[in-house]
């Protein structure tokens, strides 16, 4: 059982079993209220999935315990992204279980590839695009799915000015796929497939779009009489 958490675009929490079946899926589209809703969404997801969240609780079977936490590592804005990663790490630390990092764009790409496979659609190169605000976009280009059922990145996540994106994707020969949400269920599914393949598919550190706006002061202010 995997608890998936992503706050790169909105806030999303899901519980996925080892076979990829979604037991619970909770989300909020608010791009700013991550800290306010993350705890409630986790509690709801665990309750819906009928799993045990706390140490000291005797599970009825392996199907009622969370074994891994899958964390969406971005790309995403500093403040929002760190809320989800901190929540994932805190839950994992409390349970004594591993965190599985997942590139958030990979989850969107996996959803697109699974949908294409269901309708026997030919694989095409495409780019997952998310709004980075400040007139910029984050994008990652993908070339189909590998033998482990995971998206193949043709480029790593990158930041680009809004007006330059379409020309860049045309240069790369990639169709544009705008993502307005990152489903935590697909974060969990990507983690499940990575675990089954014995692979690491995400970075240990967050993929922040840019440095935080807050900076350390240069020094103490002078006081005049």
In-domain check, residue 223 = no
Cα separation of 86 and 98, whole Å?
Answer: 13
Number of domains, the chain: 1
**How far is it between the farthest Cα atoms of the chain?**
78
In-domain check, residue 53 = yes
In-domain check, residue 164 = yes
Sort strands 126-133 and 175-178 into parallel, antiparallel or unpaired. Answer: parallel
In-domain check, residue 165 = yes
Q: Could you tell me if 87 and 72 are in contact, meaning their C-beta atoms sit under 8 angstroms apart?
A: no
Question: What predicted TM-score, i.e. pTM, was given to this entire model?
Answer: 0.88
- How much is the pLDDT for 213? 47
Cα separation of 82 and 210, whole Å?
Answer: 13
- How much is the pLDDT for 19? 85
- Closest-CA residue to 85 (of 97, 67, 72, 98): 72
**Averaged pLDDT for residues 93-120:** 94
- How much is the pLDDT for 20? 87
In-domain check, residue 63 = yes
In-domain check, residue 220 = no
204 has a pLDDT exceeding 70: yes
| Tokens 């993350």, residue located | 38
In-domain check, residue 212 = no
State percent of the chain over pLDDT 90: 74
CATH code, 47: 3.30.420.40
Domain interval for residue 14 = 2-197
């Amino acid at each position: 059982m995997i608890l998936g958490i992503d706050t790169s675009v909105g806030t999303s929490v899901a519980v996925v079993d080892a076979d990829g079946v979604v037991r619970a899926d909770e989300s909020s589209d608010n791009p700013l209220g991550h800290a306010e809703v993350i705890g409630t969404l986790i509690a709801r997801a665990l309750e819906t999935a009928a799993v045990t969240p706390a140490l000291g609780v005797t599970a009825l079977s392996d199907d009622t315990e969370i074994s891994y936490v899958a964390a969406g590592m971005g790309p995403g804005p500093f403040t929002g992204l760190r809320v989800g990663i901190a929540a994932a790490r805190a839950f994992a630390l409390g349970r004594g279980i591993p965190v599985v990092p997942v590139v958030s764009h990979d989850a969107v790409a996996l959803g697109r590839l699974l949908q294409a496979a269901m309708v026997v659609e030919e694989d095409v190169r495409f780019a997952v695009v998310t709004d980075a605000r400040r007139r910029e976009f984050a994008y990652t280009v993908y070339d189909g799915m590998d033998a482990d059922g995971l998206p193949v990145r043709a480029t790593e996540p990158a930041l680009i000015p809004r007006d330059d994106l379409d020309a860049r994707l045309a240069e790369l020969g990639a169709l544009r796929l705008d993502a307005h949400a990152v489903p935590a269920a697909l974060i969990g599914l990507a983690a499940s497939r990575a675990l089954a393949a014995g692979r690491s598919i995400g970075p240990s550190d967050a993929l922040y779009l840019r440095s935080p706006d807050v900076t350390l002061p240069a020094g103490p202010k002078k006081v005049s009489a």
